[in-house]
């Protein structure tokens, strides 16, 4: 095994900290498996270290807040010396080196040619040498399979295998009995395919030439009028200019921080300040704050009006007038109609405003019914139907989708435990309740369920007899992010992932919910911020859906919802993020009765969040209380929602993941080490809360565990004998066992947060995610 280590230096000569370096094997071999990554994150001083086995590997660099970038490919041989990443990236590729069999043929041919220039006898020998070379090249080292090639050569020799008529050859090195691919040659088919493509490139109207990168993405075009069209431009080594669909964006090269953007309609944005132009007769300029409130108007005649508190409502709304009467807010229309909007008292200082969609709303200060409480800024629509606490001006909408776990399902009747809203106007839902189940007519979403907003709780609406994750998550998001929060669930019990995708009843219900939430948010002058929240897994585990198929369907689901939201909001650049609460019940996985089975679906979710920045894992459920083979108890759902909400709020505030998860796992002769990322404070081993399933939930494939310890730096040390080929945690369960902290697929490690659910009184620990990883 070769050690690749060094310091990662950026273009400006400064070490790059917190950058993830991933090596992925391009081909299977006896030493490595294709797509089994080796990962290292650079330290504060840019240092990295990876243990790499023989083979060819892609090198992927992922900087914080930036998409992964392919840095190139490296090849590691059995005798490769240790070195830095640059040493291997700058080494000549195998395709640049002549395979041994070709080199032998060339040398023999040259020898024959030299002999032919001497004597007739030498010519005869040259002819024999040439024939020998031909036999050597075309027959002696040509085989039909890897096993035949390895059997017909010795270590250090090279052989080739034909890929079929017109397909060329692949060349392999016999590396101590293992086949290492070192080169390939193209065949007639590839040449023909290339010749077919060339006329197509030449046929694009208006384009003289196209340049692309190694992945086939167009980097530059030369147009026939002499214009050079670049996808991106770097000036100096600090500022990059990148072309978007309708704008040019400029950002810092090293960090990706957006500095500004110039749009094709003439508007531009510098930092957080957006300047745009519109035709408004009589008005030269309007200045607004980040919440869209007018601060100043400059008229064509030079007059200036400042939006002080005394004149703000007249600047924005020349129609209805909001007034306070006996501690409640009322509105008087231009026609003289009078309507009381609030009844809770302790409300004051109303302002009549106009939202971006032309709707009227009232902003006022309120104690929200609490005579001794502090004042909060509220907003209410002029019809009195929708009231919220303003927060920071953002309306967070978390849309939970999935199957029965997403809507709080169970086979045992159990009452909702969240019966009173902790934040009556900070956490809201629609009049039909928080959760809807498309698999049952009585609890399916209808337009009548979305008429107006109410304080969020779990004991009313279409599924008012059952607790879900919704309100627990919403309350934590509101109190920690400052955003007005609404979390709703539109799932379908007992349904495969394929049956909640685009075109299904569940998908249609979810988009209806999104549209109505967007309309209400705009009518209150708020910024709509939708996120998908995913709780799913049982049905696909039972059906035996493969990990790759499942991940592909989840990605497709995200893309479908993103496309819908881009159209709804008129924003083609919007990126939908997905928060996933990990499915962790291995006992329902397809398999024989009483057999040990793997957590295939839960691990697929873990890998998806690890490898795709659009998916964020928020926690896992194995330590929750269950009431049956598939479902959480009412207190289990409440606790799960609060853990879910804490992780979402952390990401909204800092962009960081709170879930406790494995980092770069390494193996030595004596142990496997698992550094832990995320969580709050020090990780601990707790066998009181979760019964020890053996080695605290860890298992090694191909090796025997002799001890498991957790050090002060949140690194797990797994002592072992033998060489492990894989490691797992909370990944294996038994088909005959019930899920949960005592009998299910589980582990004993969690962080040390001190928070406790205010309803269930259970701790809100971040448990270590369930996972499997090849070593």
> Of 289-293, 469-473, 548-552, 631-635, which range is least confident?
289-293
With respect to residue 506, please indicate whether it lies within any of the assigned structural domains: no
Distance CA 367, CA 328 (A): 11
With respect to residue 526, please indicate whether it lies within any of the assigned structural domains: no
What is the rounded average pLDDT of the residues 45-71?
A: 81
More confident residue, 484 or 30: 484
With respect to residue 636, please indicate whether it lies within any of the assigned structural domains: no
Which residues lie closer than 8 Å to 479 by C-beta, 6 or more apart? 423, 426
What is the rounded average pLDDT of the residues 410-415?
A: 91
Dihedral sign from CA coordinates of 220, 225, 226, 232? negative
Domain with 262 in it: 243-306
Given a cut of 80, whether residue 366 has pLDDT beyond it is yes
256 and 350 within one domain? no
687 and 769 within one domain? yes
Distance CA 197, CA 192 (A): 9
The predicted-structure confidence for 652-709, as pLDDT tens digits, reads as follows 999 999 999 999 999 999 999 999 999 999 999 999 999 999 999 999 999 999 999 9
Dihedral sign from CA coordinates of 556, 562, 566, 567? positive
Given a cut of 90, whether residue 227 has pLDDT beyond it is no
pLDDT for res 131: 46
- Three-state SS at 261: strand
Which residues lie closer than 8 Å to 286 by C-beta, 6 or more apart? 280, 294, 296, 297, 298
Do residues 368 and 424 touch, judged by C-beta distance below 8 A?
Answer: yes
b/e burial code for range 396-431 (CB count within 10 A of at least 16 → b): bbbbbbbbbbbbbbbeeebebbbeebbbbbbbbbbe
Distance CA 772, CA 604 (A): 9
The predicted-structure confidence for 300-317, as pLDDT tens digits, reads as follows 666 666 654 333 333 345
Phi, psi of 416 (to 5 degrees): -65, 145
Please report, for residues 36, 234, 245, 264, the alpha-carbon distance to residue 769 in angstroms, rounded to integers and kept in the order given.
19, 40, 39, 46
Given a cut of 80, whether residue 383 has pLDDT beyond it is yes
pLDDT for res 116: 45
347 and 287 within one domain? no
277 and 381 within one domain? no
**What beta strand segments (E) does 289-356 contain?**
294-299, 304-306, 321-325, 328-332, 338-340, 347-354
Given a cut of 50, whether residue 550 has pLDDT beyond it is yes
Please report, for residues 74, 151, 228, the alpha-carbon distance to residue 159 in angstroms, rounded to integers and kept in the order given.
22, 11, 47
340 and 290 within one domain? no
Given a cut of 70, whether residue 272 has pLDDT beyond it is no
More confident residue, 402 or 231: 402
302 and 346 within one domain? no
Is the pTM here over 0.85, yes or no?
no
Which residues lie closer than 8 Å to 110 by C-beta, 6 or more apart? none
More confident residue, 270 or 110: 270
The pair of structure tokens assigned to 278 is 């519109």
With respect to residue 275, please indicate whether it lies within any of the assigned structural domains: yes
297 and 333 within one domain? no
With respect to residue 603, please indicate whether it lies within any of the assigned structural domains: no
Given a cut of 60, whether residue 479 has pLDDT beyond it is yes
Do residues 512 and 457 touch, judged by C-beta distance below 8 A?
Answer: no
pLDDT for res 313: 33
725 and 759 within one domain? yes
With respect to residue 381, please indicate whether it lies within any of the assigned structural domains: yes
Distance CA 128, CA 137 (A): 14
pLDDT for res 22: 85
pLDDT for res 249: 82
What is the rounded average pLDDT of the residues 23-43?
A: 69
Please report, for residues 403, 506, 622, 626, the alpha-carbon distance to residue 583 in angstroms, rounded to integers and kept in the order given.
11, 19, 8, 13
With respect to residue 219, please indicate whether it lies within any of the assigned structural domains: no
pLDDT for res 254: 72
Q: Which of 326, 51, 40, 32 is nearest to 179 (CA)?
A: 32
pLDDT for res 24: 82
Distance CA 512, CA 576 (A): 17
In the chain, how long is the greatest CA-to-CA distance? Answer: 123
What is the rounded average pLDDT of the residues 629-643?
A: 96
pLDDT for res 425: 95
The pair of structure tokens assigned to 164 is 């079929």
> Of 257-261, 377-381, 606-610, which range is least confident?
257-261
Question: What's 59's domain CATH number?
Answer: 2.60.40.1120
Given a cut of 80, whether residue 764 has pLDDT beyond it is yes
Given a cut of 90, whether residue 285 has pLDDT beyond it is no
Do residues 557 and 424 touch, judged by C-beta distance below 8 A?
Answer: no
Phi, psi of 12 (to 5 degrees): -90, 5
More confident residue, 662 or 77: 662
Q: Which of 640, 646, 678, 659 is nearest to 762 (CA)?
A: 640
Distance CA 14, CA 46 (A): 9
With respect to residue 6, please indicate whether it lies within any of the assigned structural domains: yes
Q: How confident is the model at residue 105 (pLDDT cuts 50, 70, 90)?
A: very low
- Enclosing H/E stretch for 750: strand 749-750
pLDDT for res 309: 37
Domain end among 361, 385, 409: 385
Q: Which of 2, 19, 14 is nearest to 83 (CA)?
A: 2
Do residues 488 and 457 touch, judged by C-beta distance below 8 A?
Answer: no
pLDDT for res 714: 97
More confident residue, 153 or 770: 770
| C-alpha R_g of the chain | 32
pLDDT for res 123: 47
The predicted-structure confidence for 430-440, as pLDDT tens digits, reads as follows 999 999 999 99
Q: What does pLDDT average to over the chain?
A: 85
More confident residue, 34 or 653: 653
pLDDT for res 394: 95
Do residues 338 and 323 touch, judged by C-beta distance below 8 A?
Answer: no
Enumerate the β-bridge partners of residue 242. Answer: 232, 249
Instruction: Quote the percentage of the chain above a pLDDT of 70.
Output: 82
Instruction: Quote the percentage of the chain above a pLDDT of 90.
Output: 53
What is the rounded average pLDDT of the residues 23-28?
A: 75
Q: How confident is the model at residue 58 (pLDDT cuts 50, 70, 90)?
A: confident
The predicted-structure confidence for 561-601, as pLDDT tens digits, reads as follows 999 999 999 999 999 999 999 999 999 998 888 899 999 99
669 and 769 within one domain? yes
pLDDT for res 474: 98
Domain end among 333, 358, 385: 385
- Three-state SS at 504: coil
What is the rounded average pLDDT of the residues 251-271?
A: 76
770 and 666 within one domain? yes
pLDDT for res 305: 67
Domain end among 254, 278, 306: 306
Q: How confident is the model at residue 143 (pLDDT cuts 50, 70, 90)?
A: confident
pLDDT for res 133: 39
Do residues 599 and 770 touch, judged by C-beta distance below 8 A?
Answer: yes
760 and 674 within one domain? yes
pLDDT for res 214: 59
Q: In the block, which residue shows the tokens 């031909």?
A: 134
Number of domains in the chain: 4
381 and 289 within one domain? no
Q: In the block, which residue shows the tokens 């409300």?
A: 347
- Enclosing H/E stretch for 532: strand 527-535
Distance CA 633, CA 639 (A): 10
Q: How confident is the model at residue 282 (pLDDT cuts 50, 70, 90)?
A: low
Given a cut of 60, whether residue 351 has pLDDT beyond it is yes
């Amino acid at each position: 095994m070769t050690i690749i280590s060094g310091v990662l230096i950026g273009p400006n000569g400064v070490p790059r900290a917190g950058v993830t370096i991933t090596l992925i094997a391009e081909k299977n071999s006896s030493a490595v498996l294709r797509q089994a990554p080796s990962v290292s994150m650079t330290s504060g001083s840019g240092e990295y270290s990876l243990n790499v086995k023989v083979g060819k590997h892609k090198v992927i660099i992922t900087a914080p807040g930036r998409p992964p970038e392919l840095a190139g490919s490296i090849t590691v041989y059995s005798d490769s010396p240790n070195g830095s990443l640059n040493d291997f990236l700058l080494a000549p590729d195998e395709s640049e080196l002549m395979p041994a069999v070709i080199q032998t043929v060339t040398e023999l041919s040259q020898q024959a040619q030299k002999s032919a220039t001497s004597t007739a006898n030498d010519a005869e020998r040259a002819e024999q040498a040439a024939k020998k070379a031909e036999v050597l090249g075309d027959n002696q080292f040509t085989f039909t399979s890897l096993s035949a090639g390895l059997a017909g050569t010795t270590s250090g020799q090279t052989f080739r295998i034909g890929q079929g008529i017109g397909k060329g050859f692949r060349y392999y090195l016999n590396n101590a009995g293992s086949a290492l691919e070192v080169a390939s040659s193209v065949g007639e088919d590839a040449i023909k395919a290339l010749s077919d493509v060339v006329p197509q490139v030449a046929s694009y109207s208006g384009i003289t030439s196209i340049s692309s990168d190694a992945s086939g993405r167009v980097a530059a075009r030369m147009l026939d009028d002499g214009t050079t069209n670049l996808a991106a431009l770097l000036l100096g080594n600090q500022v990059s200019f990148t072309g978007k669909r309708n704008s040019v964006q400029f950002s810092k090269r090293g960090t990706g921080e957006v500095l500004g953007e110039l749009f094709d309609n003439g508007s531009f944005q510098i930092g957080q300040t957006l300047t745009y132009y519109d035709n408004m007769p009589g008005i030269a300029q309007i200045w607004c704050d980040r919440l869209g409130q007018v601060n100043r108007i400059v008229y064509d005649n030079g007059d200036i009006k400042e939006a002080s508190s005394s004149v703000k409502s007249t600047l924005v709304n020349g129609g209805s007038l909001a007034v306070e009467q006996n501690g409640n807010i009322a509105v008087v229309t231009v026609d003289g109609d009078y309507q009381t909007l609030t009844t809770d008292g302790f409300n004051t200082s109303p302002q009549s405003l106009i939202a971006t969609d032309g709707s009227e709303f009232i902003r006022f200060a309120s104690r929200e019914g609490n005579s001794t409480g502090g004042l909060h800024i509220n907003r209410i629509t002029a019809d009195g139907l929708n009231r919220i606490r303003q927060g920071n001006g953002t309306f967070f909408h978390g849309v939970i989708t999935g199957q029965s776990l997403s809507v709080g399902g169970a086979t045992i009747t159990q009452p909702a435990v969240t019966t009173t809203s902790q934040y009556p106007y900070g956490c809201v839902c629609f009049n039909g309740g928080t959760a809807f189940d498309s698999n049952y007519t009585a609890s399916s979403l209808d337009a009548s369920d979305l008429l107006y907003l109410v304080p969020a709780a779990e004991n009313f609406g279409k599924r008012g007899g059952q607790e879900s994750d919704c309100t627990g998550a919403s309350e934590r998001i509101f109190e920690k992010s400052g955003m007005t929060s609404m979390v709703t669930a539109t799932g379908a019990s007992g349904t495969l992932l394929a049956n909640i995708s685009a075109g299904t009843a569940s998908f249609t219900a979810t988009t209806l919910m999104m549209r109505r939430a967007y309309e209400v948010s705009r009518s209150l002058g708020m910024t709509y911020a939708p996120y998908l929240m995913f709780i799913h897994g049982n049905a696909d585990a039972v059906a035996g859906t493969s990990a790759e198929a499942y991940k592909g369907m989840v990605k497709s689901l995200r893309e479908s919802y993103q496309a819908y939201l881009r159209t709804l909001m008129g924003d083609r650049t919007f990126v939908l993020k997905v928060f996933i609460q990990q499915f962790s019940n291995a006992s329902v996985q397809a398999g024989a009765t009483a057999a040990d089975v793997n957590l295939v679906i839960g691990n697929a979710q873990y890998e998806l969040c690890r490898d795709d920045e659009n998916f964020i894992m928020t926690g896992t459920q194995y330590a929750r209380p269950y009431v049956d083979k598939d479902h959480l108890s009412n207190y289990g759902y409440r606790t799960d929602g609060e853990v879910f909400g804490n992780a979402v709020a952390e990401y909204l505030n800092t962009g960081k993941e709170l879930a406790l998860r494995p980092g770069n796992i390494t193996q030595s002769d004596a142990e496997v080490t698992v550094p832990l990322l995320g969580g709050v404070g020090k990780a601990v081993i707790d066998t009181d809360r979760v019964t020890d399933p053996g080695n605290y939930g860890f298992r090694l494939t191909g090796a025997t565990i002799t001890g498991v310890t957790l050090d002060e730096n949140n690194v797990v040390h797994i002592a072992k004998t033998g060489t492990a080929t894989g490691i797992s945690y909370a990944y294996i369960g038994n088909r005959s066992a019930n899920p949960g902290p005592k009998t299910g697929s589980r582990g004993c490690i969690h962080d040390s947060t001190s928070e406790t659910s205010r309803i269930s009184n259970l701790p809100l620990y971040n448990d270590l995610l369930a996972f499997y990883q090849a070593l």
